[in-house]
Structure 1
Amino acid sequence: MNALKNIEIPATDRAGPSCAVTSRQDRSSRPSACTLDDVLTAKHPSNFRDALNAEGTGPIILDGGLGTHLADRGNDVTGELWSAQILMDRPDEVRAAHQDFFAAGAQVATTCSYQISRDGLEQAGSAGQFETMLRTSVALAKEAATDNAQDSARWVAASVGPYGAGPGAGTEYDGAYDLDAAELAQWHRERLAILAGTGADVIIFETVPSMAEVEALTLLAKDLELPAILSVNVRADERGQIVLGDGTDLRVAAKLVAESGVWAGVGVNCCPVPQAVAALRILGEETGLPLSAYPNSGETWDHEARVWVPGTEGNDLPSAVPELIAAGARLIGGCCQVSPEQITRVREAARAVAGN
């Protein structure tokens, strides 16, 4: 079954890829600050870059784990395409899942495009749906953003997953790709060009686990007209140091991000809360960029058994919001197993901090 043909993609989204180069001078100029009321009451679409860089305002609230919420809604996401299979077969469910997170207080919908790659779809016999699925993922999130929007600002983040979420077969947590930066840039280029022309507010590169992929995405991000955020996957090594999944010291990656001058923001996702806090402190020291954090629930995904297994204690995300804000987080949400209910608690915790 393929239900994508029933989704109307706005004409403006069919205009084709737009990856025009933005000058370094334009990127380095900071927008004027806006007030908290500006950020919370501006109608969609608002300028995401302005909101991200606004001084004296509370954090922007991201959504939670889209794939795991789709599963909670009764969808089978255990196949090789994960949530992308639901996008193909039941797009209304994807739209509804986005609506659930917005109703819970999220201000950003992260699109259901994380695992969409041409070769990944080829393995599943659906390569012909590649561009349609990418464009539909953004269209559904934009529809959800305008549903009962009232006066709260809402944005759509086009998700670009790592090589490991496609043909890398679950290596998004260790970066064991055996590919160099040039090869990874070539692999990412086509879908990034498509997503850049969909009218999304921001591109977010998620769960990036390797230095080679950080280098590749930095090369591609410099040609984007819209803001781009890099979200890496981290772990603590045997000495307790925060490193990328492939073992690279996070400070090394952070210095490349800072020196490139192309990123609108940087952060971490799909890691335990304590590691997210530690990583933000490093990223803040090294980059000076707006920071994002959307940890998981503390459980670990076993990609061979395709099940979640218990993780570490001390990972209640809403309880960690004050610590994340103190570490500099401008964007706060959740990753795998983080539900709409938890996002409501995250937003309440952020408001409590802002009121102090």
Structure 2
Amino acid sequence: MNNDLIKNWLEKQSALVVDGAMATELEKRGVDTNNELWSAMALVHDPDAVVAVHRSYFDAGANIAITDSYQANIPAFKKAGLTQEQSGKMIFDSVKLAQRARADYVKTLPEDARQTTPLLIAGSVGPYGAYLANGSEYTGDYSLTDREYKDFHRARMNLLAGAGIDLFAFETQPNFAEAKALADLSRNEFAGIPAWLSFSVTAEAKLCDGTPLTEAVTYFNQFPNIIAIGVNCTAMTNIEVLIKVIAKVTDKPIVVYPNNGDTYDPVTKTWESNPNARSFSELAPKWQAAGASLIGGCCRTTPVDIQEIAASVIE
């Protein structure tokens, strides 16, 4: 999948719909995600459940499936008892499972829709903080050298690329230095594969490490293979303002996929439901009007939420 093809789709359509939460839907299917690998443990113990979740989002109207590899990395799998070879296979398979769900879904479409409906697989690359499994993807409170960041991410990116992703999703990135390393690695070693870059931010329009969002977005304008930039895993009510902040400093398509309105405690790793949360059907059109081109959901979102987005954005 080349950059131009994805850009053409974005130009032809006002928006593409990104899928929703993986762990939330796995938990509904009885999969235990309370471990350091989080939803990625399902790659080991229940791959069919991963396929089912991906398929549920395609059925709901998603154009883009994000692989179950956010917290999947070789050191974490080895720590859980897998061999080097088995660990690599789990990351490779995260793509194959999403592709399987897509292939099954395509069979349900009319022939003309099969040719015109964009259905993409985005290889999830979570931050180093996700590997630490201590909530630091929400603080950015960690520091490696540029080389160390690249060495950490390279193995997973090689496996995702080898399995045939359409693009990378560098997501929930809280640390400016790490995001720089990822973009540089992507440009120099994976130039043929486009990527979106999505930050973990505060309500004050800063990356979680304190870097102003405008400074970060402006920096990544220089990377042609970063074809979209935005935010994820933040409150729905923050999104419209953040889109407007981003739109002031970039012409790249903007990607947003917030949480569903519930509140997460990274210490206890539990969620508190918000009965007064706004609906995606109400907010997604506002995000699109503000300038978002790729819209989906992150933690705690469901196929119902994605169906609301698909029904409310203008294609």
Which residue number corresponds to residue 281 of structure 1? Answer: 244
Which residue number corresponds to residue 89 of structure 2? Answer: 132
Relative to structure 1, is the Cα distance of residues 173 and 124 closer, same or farther in structure 2, using a 3 angstrom cutoff?
same
User: How many Å separate the matches in 1 of 2:273 and 2:262?
Assistant: 5
Bigger mean CA deviation after superposition, 182-191 or 332-341: 182-191
Match 1:272 to one of 235, 239, 246: 235
Secondary structure of the structure 1 residue equivalent to 2:172: strand
Which residue number corresponds to residue 172 of structure 2? Answer: 207
Which residue number corresponds to residue 109 of structure 1? Answer: 65
Q: Is 2:28 aligned against 1:72? A: yes
Q: Is 2:58 aligned against 1:93? A: no
2:123/2:169 contact within 8 Å kept? yes
Secondary structure of the structure 1 residue equivalent to 2:196: strand
Which residue number corresponds to residue 325 of structure 1? Answer: 288
Secondary structure of the structure 1 residue equivalent to 2:164: coil
Larger Rg: 1
Q: Is 2:99 aligned against 1:142? A: yes
Match 2:305 to one of 323, 332, 342: 342
Match 1:309 to one of 272, 281, 284: 272
* Unmatched runs of 5 consecutive residues or more in structure 1: 1-25, 32-46
Which residue number corresponds to residue 300 of structure 1? Answer: 263
1:176: Cα distance to partner? 0.7
Residue identity opposite 2:312 in structure 1: A
Secondary structure of the structure 2 residue equivalent to 1:147: helix
* Unmatched runs of 5 consecutive residues or more in structure 2: none
User: How many Å separate the matches in 2 of 1:215 and 1:269?
Assistant: 18
1:295/1:317 contact within 8 Å kept? no
User: How many Å separate the matches in 1 of 2:274 and 2:185?
Assistant: 34
2:234/2:258 contact within 8 Å kept? yes
User: How many Å separate the matches in 2 of 1:145 and 1:100?
Assistant: 10
Q: Is 2:124 aligned against 1:159? A: yes
Secondary structure of the structure 2 residue equivalent to 1:267: strand
Q: Is 2:202 aligned against 1:235? A: yes
Secondary structure of the structure 2 residue equivalent to 1:298: coil
Which residue number corresponds to residue 8 of structure 2? Answer: 50
**Percent sequence identity over matched residues?**
36
1:310: Cα distance to partner? 4.3
Match 1:83 to one of 17, 39, 61: 39
Coordinate RMSD, CA, aligned: 1.9
Secondary structure of the structure 2 residue equivalent to 1:64: coil
1:195: Cα distance to partner? 1.1
1:209: Cα distance to partner? 0.5
Secondary structure of the structure 1 residue equivalent to 2:249: helix
Relative to structure 1, is the Cα distance of residues 192 and 251 closer, same or farther in structure 2, using a 3 angstrom cutoff?
same
After superposition, give the CA deviation of every residue in 1:116-162 in whole Å (9 maximum; x if it has no partner): 11221222222432210111000010111111321233111111111
Q: Is 2:159 aligned against 1:194? A: yes
Count of aligned positions: 303
TM-score by length of 2: 0.90
Q: Is 2:208 aligned against 1:250? A: no
User: How many Å separate the matches in 2 of 1:207 and 1:111?
Assistant: 14
Which residue number corresponds to residue 13 of structure 1? Answer: none
Residue identity opposite 1:232 in structure 2: F
